[in-house]
Amino acid sequence: MKTHEMIKVKPYLFTSKLFANGEHPLYFKLSDGSNRVYISTPFSAAKKDWSVQHYFKKSVPDYAGKNRFIQDQESELRKLISNSIALGENLELIDIKKRYIGIKANLQLIGYAEEHKEYLRSIKRIGHARAFNFMIGAVRLFNMGKDISLEDVTANWLEKLQANMISRCVASNGQLNVFRHIRIVINKAIKKGLLEKHKYPFVDFKLPKKEDTTHKSLSIEQISILENYNGGRRESVLYFLFSYYAQGMNHRDMAWVTYGDLSGSVIRYRRRKTGRPVNVALNEKAMAIIDHFRTHERRSTDFIFPILNLESHGTAQDAFDRCESHRRYVNKTLKRVAKLLGLPDWIHFYCARHSYAHNLYLSGFSSEMLGDALGHKDAAITKVYLSSFPVEKLAEMNSRL
């Protein structure tokens, strides 16, 4: 009979396989002296970034989170082996692998989604992890609070889930969000060998069509009214106006830009959503807002805006929660100011981005140039931003026929 000491478990960089980006896949290697099996992980690394003793080196972004994830999974494997030996099961290595990845276990949709959320959090993709919550809530409401086996997620079950969401007046785009995240879980389970390919339910179930949403924006005249406002809660207005002047920089990017990103009147940063580099040429109005928030001499590592404080928001989750809280506060106060000024009550922070794109497009700038300024990867996204023309502009255009 095998003993715990006979079975070795260790993370293993599979250098025999090379990806196009120069990295090698990372596996767990199980060996008992004469046999070995490999279990895939979500990670890969270059040789120079990997240490057999310490795993990911400090040169790797979020190395600590990745190492914690590996250590947690390694502990789970060791515990599984110890328990099976204690029960006298004498499992072969392949049986341990199958049990670990869940082929013999009853793999659950919500449980597996929660596990994927933990992985996303470990690599600081907090927003992506949070996006699974709506799907998990919809499944729990439909399934009377219970989880469901991935084996039972069939096209028929998906149709019933959709009927339930329709009865609760969930919009088409909300339904699409739920099914896309279920599909992510299913695809990952199939890729890891947890679910057989022929049980993929989205062959017979078609996703609902995405509904076009109206991206509301303020006109140049309405922006001017905000510019002239000097009453209470003005700082929320300044955050909005800076985004408008700074090529529609979104709230999370504003929270993270530092004085080191600022050179003269140009900010160079990478969008946290896409990783795409963006250069922002600031006008005098934007620079005046930066000066408003500059209370003393700043170091290059200091944030430009007083949203984050790494002493209080040291973890990725803390920083994400703080950004969300601050954005909600700005949106709430913007609505109050809008009411005082007679502006639309649907105003929110993100419409500064839409307003920037819309007003410059109406001034004659091309969608390609605006897409580059906004940091869009896809021209189709820019076209969605510019899809809603004011009726007055349409009337002016049509009068020239």
Residue 383 pLDDT level (bands cut at 50, 70, 90): low
Place of tokens 């509301």: 216
Neighbours of 56 (CB within 10 A): 22
Let me know the angle formed at the C-alpha of 377 by 373 and 381, rounded to the nearest 5 degrees. Answer: 85
Place of tokens 């839409």: 354
52-108 pLDDT per residue, tens:
888 999 888 778 888 888 898 888 888 888 888 888 877 788 888 877 876 544 588
Strands (DSSP E) contained in 142-281 are 262-263, 266-270, 277-281
Q: Of how many residues is the chain composed?
A: 401
Element (H, E) at 381: helix 379-385
Task: Give the pTM.
Answer: 0.61
Ramachandran area for residue 154 (φ above 0: left; ψ -120 to 50: alpha; else beta): beta
pLDDT at 41: 85
8 beta partners = 31
Q: Please indicate whether residue 234 or residue 381 has the higher confidence score (pLDDT).
A: 234
The Cβ-side half-sphere exposure at 242, using a 13 Å CA radius, reads 24
What mean pLDDT comes out for the span 205-218? 80
- Please classify residue 346 by burial: count the beta carbons closer than 10 Å to its beta carbon, then call 0-12 exposed, 13-18 middle and 19+ buried: exposed
Query: Which domains does the chain carry?
Result: 4-101 (no CATH), 127-203 (no CATH), 220-398 (1.10.443.10)
Let me know the angle formed at the C-alpha of 126 by 125 and 129, rounded to the nearest 5 degrees. Answer: 90
In single-letter form, the type of residue at position 213 comes to: T
279 beta partners = 268
281-303 pLDDT per residue, tens:
899 999 999 999 987 778 888 99
What rounded mean pLDDT belongs to the chain?
A: 84
223-234 pLDDT per residue, tens:
999 999 999 889
pLDDT at 186: 94
Residue 394 pLDDT level (bands cut at 50, 70, 90): very low
Q: Which stretches within 40-192 are classed as H helix? A: 63-86, 93-101, 109-122, 126-130, 132-142, 155-167, 172-191
Q: Please indicate whether residue 200 or residue 5 has the higher confidence score (pLDDT).
A: 200
Rounded Cα–Cα distance for residues 220 and 357 (Å) = 11
Let me know the angle formed at the C-alpha of 300 by 296 and 301, rounded to the nearest 5 degrees. Answer: 100
- 273: pLDDT strictly greater than 60: yes
Residue 401 pLDDT level (bands cut at 50, 70, 90): very low
